Structure 1
Amino acid sequence: MTVLPDDGLSLAAEFPAATRAQWQRLVTGVLSRSGEDVPAAEAEDALSTALEDGLRTRPLYTAADAVPDPGLPGFPPFVRSGRAAGSAVGGWDVRQRHATADPGAVLTDLENGVTSLWLAVGPGGIPVDGLDRLLRGVYLDLAPVALDAGAETADAAQELLAVYARRGVAPEAALGNLGADPLGTEARTGSAYDGDGFAATVALARLCVEAYPGLRALTVDALPYHEAGGSAAEELGASLATGVAYLRALTDGGMSVEQALGQLEFRYAATADQFLTIAKLRAARRLWARVAEACGAPSAGAQLQHAVTSSVMTTARDPWVNMLRATIATLAAGVGGAESVTVHSFDHALGVPDAFARRIARNTSTVLIEESHLARVIDPAGGSWYVESLTDGLARAAWEFFQEIERSGGQAAGLRSGRIGQRLAATWAERSRALARRREPVTGVSEFPYLGEKPVVREPAPAQPSGGLPRVRRDEAFEALRARSDAHLAATGVRPRVFLAALGPAAAHTARLTFAANLFQAGGIEPVTEGSFEDSGAGEVCLCSSDAVYEERAAEKAAAFRSAGAGHVVLAGRPAAYPGIDSYVHAGCDAVTVLSATLDRMGVS
Structure 2
Amino acid sequence: MTTDSKDKLEIPKVTFDEFAAPGYEAWKQEAIVSLKGGVFEKKLFTKTYEDIVLEPIYTQEHVAAAGRVDDLPGTGSYMRGTRVDGYLTTPWLITQECSEFLPGTFNEVLRHELDKGSTAIHTVLDQSTCQGKSCDGEEVLTGLMLSTIEDADDAFADIDLEKYSFHIAAGPSSVQLVALLSAMLKANGRSPEVLTGCLGADPLGALVSQGSLPCSLDALYDEMAHQLTWVSQHAPQLRTILVDGAVYHNGGASDIQELAYSIATGIEYIHAMQIRGVDCNTTAKHLRFSFSLGANFFMEIAKMRAARMIWSQVVESFGGDKDAQKMNVHARTSAFTKSVYDPYVNMLRTTTEAFSGVVGGVDSLQISCFDEAIRPGDEFSRRIARNTQIILQNECNLRQPVDPAGGSWYIETLTQQVADKTWKLLQDTEAAGGLLKALRQGIPQQAVQEVLAKRFSQLAKRIDRAVGINMYANAQEVLLKQQPVDMAALKEQHSKRVTEYCRDIDQTFCQEQLAKLADAISGEPGQLVEAVMQAFSAGATLEQVTAALRQDETAEPSVTALVPHRFTEQFEALRQKTDAYKERTGDNLKIFLANMGPIPQHKARADFSTGFVEVGGFEVLKNDGFADVDSAVEAALASGAKAVIICSTDDTYPELVPPLAKQIKAGNPSMLVMLAGAPAPEFEPVYREAGVDEFIHIRANCYKILDWLQKAGGIA
Normalising TM by the smaller chain, what interval? Answer: over 0.9
Aligned letter for 2:698?
A
Partner of 1:218: 241
How far 1:141 moved relative to its partner? 1.1
Deviates more, 1:556-565 or 1:511-520: 556-565
Matched, 1:106 2:110: yes
Secondary structure in structure 2 of the residue aligned to 1:473: coil
Matched, 1:205 2:202: no
Distance 2:153 2:640 in 1: 60
Matched, 1:308 2:340: no
Deviates more, 1:194-203 or 1:543-552: 543-552
Alignment of 1:358-507 (within 5 A): 358-459=382-483, 468-507=561-600
How far 1:11 moved relative to its partner? 5.0
Cα deviation, 1:431-462, whole Å, max 9, x if unaligned, reads 21101111111111111111211111233688
Cα gap change, 1:536 to 1:76, in 2 (>3 Å): farther
Cα gap change, 1:571 to 1:409, in 2 (>3 Å): same
How far 1:292 moved relative to its partner? 1.9
CA contact (8 A) 1:542 1:571 kept: yes
Distance 2:50 2:172 in 1: 32
Distance 1:106 1:485 in 2: 40
Distance 2:601 2:303 in 1: 45
CA contact (8 A) 2:121 2:164 kept: yes
How far 1:203 moved relative to its partner? 1.4
Aligned letter for 1:126?
L
Distance 1:70 1:241 in 2: 26
Secondary structure in structure 2 of the residue aligned to 1:278: helix
Partner of 1:350: 374
How far 1:356 moved relative to its partner? 0.3
Partner of 2:45: 48
How far 1:581 moved relative to its partner? 1.6
Aligned letter for 2:165?
P
Distance 2:392 2:57 in 1: 29
CA contact (8 A) 2:675 2:695 kept: yes
Secondary structure in structure 2 of the residue aligned to 1:218: strand
CA contact (8 A) 2:93 2:363 kept: yes
Aligned letter for 2:264?
A
Secondary structure in structure 1 of the residue aligned to 2:322: helix
Partner of 1:81: 81
Secondary structure in structure 2 of the residue aligned to 1:118: strand
Partner of 1:286: 309
Q: How many residues align?
A: 591
The correspondence for 2:61, drawn from 61, 64, 68, is 64
Partner of 2:640: 537
Aligned letter for 2:577?
R
Partner of 1:163: 184
Cα gap change, 1:436 to 1:7, in 2 (>3 Å): farther
Cα deviation, 1:59-97, whole Å, max 9, x if unaligned, reads 110000123214111112001101111122242101112
Secondary structure in structure 2 of the residue aligned to 1:10: coil
The correspondence for 2:704, drawn from 582, 593, 596, is 593
Partner of 1:3: none
How far 1:307 moved relative to its partner? 0.6
How far 1:495 moved relative to its partner? 2.0
Secondary structure in structure 2 of the residue aligned to 1:313: coil
Cα deviation, 1:297-328, whole Å, max 9, x if unaligned, reads 35131111001100000111111110000000
How far 1:7 moved relative to its partner? 8.5
CA contact (8 A) 1:257 1:295 kept: yes
Unaligned runs of 5+ in 2: 1-9, 129-140, 489-558, 625-634
Cα deviation, 1:496-524, whole Å, max 9, x if unaligned, reads 12112222232222221121111111112
CA contact (8 A) 1:141 1:169 kept: no
Deviates more, 1:121-130 or 1:110-119: 121-130
Distance 1:364 1:240 in 2: 29
CA contact (8 A) 2:169 2:199 kept: yes
CA contact (8 A) 1:44 1:60 kept: no
Cα gap change, 1:445 to 1:228, in 2 (>3 Å): same
CA contact (8 A) 2:595 2:623 kept: no
Deviates more, 1:586-595 or 1:120-129: 120-129
Secondary structure in structure 1 of the residue aligned to 2:122: strand
Aligned letter for 1:342?
Q
Matched, 1:548 2:651: yes
Secondary structure in structure 2 of the residue aligned to 1:60: coil
Partner of 1:514: 607
How far 1:541 moved relative to its partner? 0.2
Cα gap change, 1:283 to 1:547, in 2 (>3 Å): same
The correspondence for 1:135, drawn from 124, 142, 156, is 156
Percent identity, aligned pairs only? 31
Secondary structure in structure 2 of the residue aligned to 1:374: coil
How far 1:46 moved relative to its partner? 4.7
Secondary structure in structure 2 of the residue aligned to 1:570: strand
The correspondence for 2:353, drawn from 312, 329, 351, is 329
Partner of 1:245: 268
Cα gap change, 1:179 to 1:7, in 2 (>3 Å): farther
Cα gap change, 1:90 to 1:496, in 2 (>3 Å): farther
How far 1:169 moved relative to its partner? 4.1
Partner of 2:678: 574
Partner of 2:144: 126
Aligned letter for 2:580?
A
Secondary structure in structure 2 of the residue aligned to 1:314: coil
RMSD: 2.1
Cα deviation, 1:25-63, whole Å, max 9, x if unaligned, reads 2222223x2x33x5xxxx456521111122011011000
